[in-house]
Structure 1
Amino acid sequence: MERAIVHMDLDTFFVSCERLKNSELENKPVIIGGGDRGVVASCSYETRFFGVRSAMPIKMALRLCPEAKVIKGDMEMYSNMSHMVTEIIQEKVPVLEKASIDEFYLDLSGMDQFFGCYKWTHEIAESVQKNTGLPISFALSANKTVSKIGTGESKPTGRFEVKQSEIQSFLNPLSVKKIPMVGDVTFQLLSRLGIRTIQTLSEMPVDVLQQLIGKNGNELWKKAHGIDETPVIPYSERKSISTEDTFAQDTIDIQGIQSILSGMVEKLCYQLRAEKWLVSVVVVKLRYSNFDTETKQCRIPYTSADHTLLRYVLELFKKVYTRRMRIRLVGVKFTGLVHGCHQMDLFEDTEELISLYQTMDKIKNRFGTSSVGRASGLLK
């Protein structure tokens, strides 16, 4: 059976949400992000014309496009809109994967026996746009890689299909940077070798690619040929990540417990970023010395940043700890997870803070998770 995989992407999602609130922003250059020392979280197509892009420092973006209106952003609204879109799509498809806050993969394999897959996808996109007011693009093809590239080529509000027989001719003239796994470093390496188009890449012997870029060479060669067997992973709100600590002796040392919570959050957040998860629900668990157990939870904007999640965890701990009684156990759980490449809260984080997190993660990757951490998480 031929696979039918759809990639759906909400066009300039954060900007589109802001335009729902304020119609005066339509067709105007808009940047979503933090203050002068922050970075661009999202930007409209009008600003991209001047070279503005996501993760660029706000100061640099404004030098490129001085007329742009900078908006701090409302992650709570964006999260709610994302949940709304997810529910609309989930009701209509057999298998849905939520790849990030604004990206979705649909597996419609076999549905062409009952409906035309393209027509069915088009109706879903129209339903999203009608019920939320958000523009959405999609591409239908035989696998994730080709459908994702197709969506990028069809934006904005694109409706695109790449049939199996057309895959190679569609990919060949495109830049190698269009392949999802090709970052700046790999692109520069391939460019120096004269490999700038996917066609040139596909004509390279696979063993040569493996010598050049290591174990990913074979995977890159397959993607250049439009080969990708990665399955669509069914989306579930019930996925979670958690940890808890039972003390050797019951304690009432609040500062010490907060230090332990800080260490827990840091370790969980490192795991979130390593596995590319974003969390939308925070839960704190507490067990008293008499074994009474209480929990508190709250829904939050999607994030994987330590300092943001730690703030929520400490606030929940204050709310759940209501008795002057010794504590036997504390725990933290993050639920409502979705896969996402947005690893930081770009509305609050400065460029320096983002670099700090990336550097700390690299140190942990090389020397272990205990090699570096917050001083607050080391207090006992």
Structure 2
Amino acid sequence: MRRQGPVGHVDADAFYVAAERVRYAHLAGMPVGVLGNQGACVIAKSYEMKATGVGTGMPIWDAMKLCPEGIYVKRDFRWYEVLSRLMLETMRELSPRVEYYSIDEFFFEAAKPPAGDYQDYAVLVRDRLMDRIRVPVTVGIARTRTLAKLISDTAKPFGALAILDKAAEESLLAARPVTDVTGIAGRREKRLLPWGIRTCLDLAKSDRRLIRGLLTASGEALWWELNGDPVIPINAERTPHKVISRGGSFGDPTDKPDVLWAWLVRNLERMVEELLYHRVLAGRVAVWVGYRDGHAGEGHATLEVPTDRFDVLLDTFRPCLRRAWVPRALASRMHLFAEDMRPHAPRQLGLFDGLDAEDAATAVKQAVNGRHGRIALRSAATLPLGPIYADRANGYDICDVRGKTCF
């Protein structure tokens, strides 16, 4: 692997709100909250709304008490992806290697401008994105990607900061709690506390072997990164999926079997889209159902032959849902998983093999939805979810934004 130069991190400031302000300019300076699918909770908020005490994940009724003058809009991931792709195009003009980490985050190889330094380059990246896309971002540049992200977090909002001096790095690390490092929270924080490791600098100054013992190899990688040794590369291309999952909250909890089945079919149709797009086959599947009382049910199955066929997967998921179903309990969310992924490869046809009815139906469905919209033609089993399909906000989700490396 070739030696990597300084690494940059771009993180959009309140991206969903910024995206709404791009198309609705009158929202500038106003307290804005972006709501989830069912409009029940705040998934993003402007800095003006944050100042009133509204937090991410807060129910809308609580947010409106804290910020009654706020403007609340439903999220639109299709529009957010449009801006995200424009940001990616711009970053690829400014850097030889760019990692599409998430819808509003990018890691990149910092290319030093001929007539300036890395601080100038950080400002250039920030200002270019603002001028071209009208989305405010913060840029951090450092010797490693872990340090670059810490720097951009420190410089928010609309900051641009390059730190490549070791003394300046240590000053930054000493001021940041260890939980600011991506990958350290909860149980990992508790493992570190008995050893007096509370700040990022404490972690960097600790014995490497101790950190490996406490946090495994991934924790050791963070130790190297905090000490300025780049061991986590920039991934300009997404690694192949190990698991594809589709699902989420229902909004209104339900104990009706036909509605649960409708949700399974809806999630499976979205999953099959991804299997076909990435040209992979599922060897194992699982369904997980969460209930309002805190309990959960699971069902698993292994396919005799890996597949991406909707009809085969539907028959496989049916007994899985039965095992996950708790009669008369209110279910609030569901997730489907496709595992043991295999590449889609040509197979030898049998003497009587050909295009069967299911293949023909799939081809027609893809053609219609490709021309008129991804849910223009769908299974009749989803009819109990009519209000969900009628709300355009439910037609596209964050996991439908392809190419990100974060999941």
Fold shared by both chains (TM-score > 0.5): yes
Partner Cα distance (2:235, 2:26) in 1: 39
Q: Once the 2 structures are TM-superposed, how far is the Cα of residue 221 of structure 1 from its aligned partner?
A: 3.4
From 256, 259, 263, the equivalent of 2:314 is: 259
Q: Using a 3 Å threshold, how does the CA distance of structure 1 residues 71 and 266 change in structure 2: closer, same or farther? A: same
Q: How many residues align?
A: 295
Task: Tell me the equivalent position of 1:218.
Answer: 220
Task: Tell me the equivalent position of 2:388.
Answer: none
Task: Tell me the equivalent position of 1:150.
Answer: 151
Q: Once the 2 structures are TM-superposed, how far is the Cα of residue 21 of structure 1 from its aligned partner?
A: 2.5
One-letter identity of the residue aligned with 2:356: Y
Query: Which protein, 1 or 2, shows the higher relative CO under an 8 Å CA cutoff with sep ≥ 6?
Result: 1
Asked if structure 2 preserves the Cα contact closer than 8 Å seen for 1:98 and 1:339, the reply is yes
Task: Tell me the equivalent position of 2:202.
Answer: 200
Q: Using a 3 Å threshold, how does the CA distance of structure 1 residues 138 and 266 change in structure 2: closer, same or farther? A: same
5 Å-filtered alignment, 1:38-77, equals 38-77=40-79
Task: Tell me the equivalent position of 1:337.
Answer: 402
Partner Cα distance (1:240, 1:164) in 2: 42
Q: Using a 3 Å threshold, how does the CA distance of structure 1 residues 104 and 171 change in structure 2: closer, same or farther? A: same
Partner Cα distance (1:317, 1:261) in 2: 17
Identity over the aligned pairs, expressed in percent?
Answer: 21
Q: 1:278-321: per-residue Cα shift (whole Å, max 9, x none)?
A: xxxxxxxx94379989473768xxxxxxxxxxx95893789xxx
Extract unaligned runs of 5+ from structure 1: 249-253, 273-285, 300-310, 319-333, 344-380
One-letter identity of the residue aligned with 1:85: M
Asked if structure 2 preserves the Cα contact closer than 8 Å seen for 1:32 and 1:72, the reply is yes
Partner Cα distance (2:65, 2:51) in 1: 13
Q: Once the 2 structures are TM-superposed, how far is the Cα of residue 114 of structure 1 from its aligned partner?
A: 7.7
Secondary structure, counterpart of 1:266 in structure 2: strand
Asked if structure 1 preserves the Cα contact closer than 8 Å seen for 2:126 and 2:158, the reply is no
Q: Which moved more, 1:228-237 or 1:95-104?
A: 228-237
One-letter identity of the residue aligned with 1:231: P
Secondary structure, counterpart of 2:94 in structure 1: coil
Secondary structure, counterpart of 2:377 in structure 1: helix
Asked if structure 1 preserves the Cα contact closer than 8 Å seen for 2:122 and 2:161, the reply is no
Task: Tell me the equivalent position of 1:367.
Answer: none
One-letter identity of the residue aligned with 1:69: I
Partner Cα distance (2:46, 2:96) in 1: 33
5 Å-filtered alignment, 1:123-272, equals 123-165=124-166, 166-191=168-193, 194-235=196-237, 240=278, 242-243=280-281, 256=311, 259-260=314-315, 266-268=336-338
Q: Using a 3 Å threshold, how does the CA distance of structure 1 residues 337 and 190 change in structure 2: closer, same or farther? A: same
Q: Using a 3 Å threshold, how does the CA distance of structure 1 residues 132 and 220 change in structure 2: closer, same or farther? A: closer
Extract unaligned runs of 5+ from structure 2: 241-276, 284-302, 319-334, 342-353, 381-398
Q: Once the 2 structures are TM-superposed, how far is the Cα of residue 72 of structure 1 from its aligned partner?
A: 0.8
Task: Tell me the equivalent position of 1:78.
Answer: 80
Asked if structure 2 preserves the Cα contact closer than 8 Å seen for 1:179 and 1:223, the reply is no
5 Å-filtered alignment, 1:300-315, equals 312=374, 315=377
Q: Using a 3 Å threshold, how does the CA distance of structure 1 residues 291 and 178 change in structure 2: closer, same or farther? A: closer
Q: 1:165-206: per-residue Cα shift (whole Å, max 9, x none)?
A: 332222122111211111234335545765332233334334
Q: Using a 3 Å threshold, how does the CA distance of structure 1 residues 141 and 39 change in structure 2: closer, same or farther? A: same
Asked if structure 2 preserves the Cα contact closer than 8 Å seen for 1:101 and 1:338, the reply is no
Partner Cα distance (2:21, 2:12) in 1: 13
Q: Once the 2 structures are TM-superposed, how far is the Cα of residue 144 of structure 1 from its aligned partner?
A: 0.3
Q: Using a 3 Å threshold, how does the CA distance of structure 1 residues 4 and 203 change in structure 2: closer, same or farther? A: closer
From 10, 14, 23, the equivalent of 2:12 is: 10
Q: Using a 3 Å threshold, how does the CA distance of structure 1 residues 156 and 291 change in structure 2: closer, same or farther? A: closer
Secondary structure, counterpart of 2:132 in structure 1: helix
Q: CA RMSD in A?
A: 4.2
Partner Cα distance (2:106, 2:125) in 1: 12
Asked if structure 2 preserves the Cα contact closer than 8 Å seen for 1:141 and 1:161, the reply is yes
Task: Tell me the equivalent position of 1:374.
Answer: none
Task: Tell me the equivalent position of 2:299.
Answer: none
Q: Once the 2 structures are TM-superposed, how far is the Cα of residue 141 of structure 1 from its aligned partner?
A: 0.9
TM-score by length of 1: 0.63
Partner Cα distance (1:237, 1:129) in 2: 30
